[in-house]
Amino acid sequence: MKYLSEDTAKQYSPLTLAFLGDSVYEIQVRCALTAEANRPVGSLHSEKIRYVCAAFQARAADFLQDAMNDAELAVYRRGRNAGGTPSKNADPADYRKATGFEAVFGYLYLTGNTERIEMLFGTVWENKECFL
């Protein structure tokens, strides 16, 4: 993949960044769960949905704000304020924060900043019990 400059990535719609970031974050969760143990797929899926949901991501976003740099915070705010339609099970405030959270992961992926993705995700994963 050809990575984008930070300036170019910042021009992307925050919902587009969140669209990509959702899958980037989910693959991190799936890899972490798979690394923990060889379990049945149904068990892995049940565990995954605990971490890939608006409520969990909203709490993680709140926790990560002090760890985000200025560019990441700007992307987060744009994503949080972008709107979109929450699912029927999601609290609208949680949905907005989760969208901002996902936008950050999408932005970092587009700019090729995989080390930063791993650092932010690692912080979330190490503290995951706090967000459940």
Positions marked catalytic: 22
What CA–CA distance (Å, rounded) separates 93 from 96? 5
**Helix 54-64 with 92-110: angle, nearest 10 deg:** 70
Helical spans, DSSP H, in the chain: 6-10, 14-36, 41-51, 54-64, 70-80, 92-110, 114-126
What CA–CA distance (Å, rounded) separates 84 from 2? 28
Q: How many CB atoms lie within 10 A of CB 12?
A: 19
Question: 128 by DSSP, 3-state: which?
Answer: helix
